[in-house]
Structure 1
């Protein structure tokens, strides 16, 4: 099993979702079969002239008629996603730019400006792009421009930890080798001036991962082995081997934007009270119905507005804070101040993929750092592209694993921090209502563009956080079954650890 964040335990039907009740109620609405994913950079002037349009990393360019899903940047800075239907003879960049402008006209331009408030004054270091720069579907994205001075302090020394298990390729899994190599290549291409990449080989059954590092990345990627299975255990092995002030984590099935690590770690240089930073996760492919349905349910992204979570000033719009850790970010794109993470004991080894708990390791770490008094920042400027799982079986596994990971991490928090129990019990009734809402079956709905103001009708799969796309009843049931199982899975995992079993 490889450690992409969306691989979880559970059950599903490979050939599609079919309910037992018959009729439309028991059958999922199928999303489109394929959508091309692109990266569109626009000028930040009033007309937002297109500067470049490139495929998502490793993906095909838009060709012919079809739906195109675009990350929209303004001079390199991510600001929105849009969906456009490109017809024969139409220029994809023009269609997508028009869709972006229509969303702005409806919801206002101010909050989509690259001059949006940034808590730490950190913007990508860019070079100006001439107004005459041609729009391309194959050339690399344009260099970025500097809108504000760089942070006054140097970027912190960082270790990037990637946990993997048998994704380096063996019989029947040649594609996994390509994914891991793409992930490592993108990490080695970061513009951060002071970092190392540490690959944690978790419970390997072959030497394929070590062989890949030795043959292709010798001297550039450090390799360590963790014999006990489990994502949290692997991450703790990385924490133990890391050096520097910051430890960043990503997955073996992502491609990191070249500016990802700089954007993810720069806030630590200017806020000594910051314990964690998370970033934006977008789909690298939308080539199967399962991938599209996942992204239409919100995917992994948390929107395009920076947000600071401060335990000293709980957010008024999140009454369940800090127990709604899923809103803080995801494990494929997170970084911690090393001292803060080590002070709370790292990740709970009884959580995470590869254990009976199925997940929740990242959520546990977010809440532990917050409850220790540190702040957490979400920044969309730190971008990675994630390879969603492709099959209906994967989507069922994912739904079950999300539910299990949610209640497993809550159990872990209460077991390890019993002082939080009164606050948890006080919020439990509202929390149960929230859990019912986020796992509810949706027979129909409106998809929309992603931005500060939520969905724009008919615009894009994945109005991130809005969850307005149809969601099959069978997936809702799997999520809820997972929630019931999560505490049991966590306790099973703890018993295994105490008994010395793996």
Structure 2
């Protein structure tokens, strides 16, 4: 993904440190019938593997994706004692977690990705800038997809070296398309990828992910079954949790949007989303999204004054989500479409992300209003609640009420997306809010610069 401008400097590290560090990330597949009492459910461990490229699962704190016969259904965080079998400990923790939640059995909700309909012809666009070391890992996973008809386009965004082109020529020359885009910015790079294809569906992911083999099929099949679907997003889980910064980001919610399929329909706004459609961050993330190409082109594509690599710092994916919805298309979220994301490792990276999140949020809202002023009355009507929501998601939380490892879903544990009581240090809260104040200015600078 294109590099970001420097965040305003701050010498202090977050004052709240996550109690979790060096967490092992695992992938557990079970054959369980949870329609029965989970405490008595018979079943077997089909597989237990580390997250792609990770170290073997061992004693200590383990954060695991749980699948039921291949389908992602939950995550579980627990401690594996020395000498214990990790698969047994994780399975027991998952059963206890399921029993403690008053919910429908896993797997009973219809999944958007498994309907029997063949997925449409698709192009996968990967924008990159000077990250050939991670790009190769991502491309290997993309070229191993089980989708029957797809092509990969790599957009080299404002490169300063030939490293990406050399990687493509050496390892992938006959297997994908290389596009050079000299204008910096993630939205511009994505638009260049769209221009390079005639596929009816265009999917996007980043150069720091590893895609599950079924990712693309699950992400694109909904377009074949519902002509009103304009966008589909999927599940993003951490591939590593080895540094405090990575753990803190995931404890803050990471990029995950849960394990329940969601349908966002502008004709029937969701009752639990009072700010719909302006809470675009709840719909998905740019590292795992696909669009009906005709719908994306009809709304003008991505706004080139948004996105990483521009003064706006972000918001390109959020802008596209809102434009698709306000144009009358449906947006679907399906957890079957899984990618593993390599979070940035350092405190400086985390500060950059916090500031960029805030800037991208208000930059995309500015973009929506500048390009589509007819939406202003709807946004103003939701403004008071929107400000309260912004204060809540950027509030300092010390995590003192956090549960212990093994109580996934409680505050302070990785993957508890949407819980407004997870730890988030004051340093990062201030940076997010400073980013929000800067976002409209950043967007204006990007628009002016593009002229």
> TM-score normalized by structure 1?
0.85
In 2, the alpha carbon distance for the partners of 1:490 and 1:456 equals: 36
**Alpha carbons 1:447, 1:462 under 8 Å: kept:** no
Return the offset for 1:309: 0.2
In 2, the alpha carbon distance for the partners of 1:9 and 1:402 equals: 14
State the superposition RMSD in angstroms.
Answer: 1.9
- Residue 275 of structure 2 corresponds to residue 311 of structure 1: no
- Residue 439 of structure 2 corresponds to residue 494 of structure 1: no
Deviation per CA, 1:407-457: give whole Å up to 9, x if none.
00000000011000001011101100110000000122555799xxx9644
Return the offset for 1:12: 5.7
- Residue 62 of structure 2 corresponds to residue 107 of structure 1: no
Q: 1:401 to 1:48 in 2, by over 3 A?
A: farther
Return the offset for 1:30: 3.3
Q: 1:224 to 1:411 in 2, by over 3 A?
A: same
- Residue 27 of structure 2 corresponds to residue 39 of structure 1: yes
In 1, the alpha carbon distance for the partners of 2:330 and 2:206 equals: 23
Return the offset for 1:334: 0.1
- Residue 109 of structure 2 corresponds to residue 156 of structure 1: no
Counterpart secondary structure, 1:49: strand
Counterpart secondary structure, 1:201: strand
- Residue 214 of structure 2 corresponds to residue 259 of structure 1: yes
Q: Which residue of 2 aligns with 1:10?
A: 7
Q: Where do 1:411-450 residues align within 5 Å?
A: 411-447=366-402
- Residue 417 of structure 2 corresponds to residue 464 of structure 1: yes
Deviation per CA, 1:18-73: give whole Å up to 9, x if none.
xxxxxxxxx2133322100000000032334211100000000123x310100000
Deviation per CA, 1:377-397: give whole Å up to 9, x if none.
000000000000000001001
> TM-score normalized by structure 2?
0.95
Return the offset for 1:218: 1.3
**Alpha carbons 2:252, 2:412 under 8 Å: kept:** no
**Alpha carbons 1:357, 1:493 under 8 Å: kept:** yes
- Residue 36 of structure 2 corresponds to residue 60 of structure 1: no
**Alpha carbons 1:103, 1:456 under 8 Å: kept:** no
Q: Which runs of 5+ in 2 are unaligned?
A: 34-40
Q: Which residue of 2 aligns with 1:474?
A: 427
Q: 1:348 to 1:392 in 2, by over 3 A?
A: same
Return the offset for 1:225: 0.4
Return the offset for 1:221: 1.5
In 1, the alpha carbon distance for the partners of 2:366 and 2:411 equals: 39
Counterpart secondary structure, 1:442: coil
Q: 1:423 to 1:164 in 2, by over 3 A?
A: same
Q: Which residue of 2 aligns with 1:200?
A: 155
In 2, the alpha carbon distance for the partners of 1:459 and 1:70 equals: 16
Q: Which runs of 5+ in 1 are unaligned?
A: 18-26, 124-148, 169-176
Counterpart secondary structure, 1:110: coil
Q: 1:100 to 1:460 in 2, by over 3 A?
A: farther
Q: Which residue of 1 aligns with 2:66?
A: 72
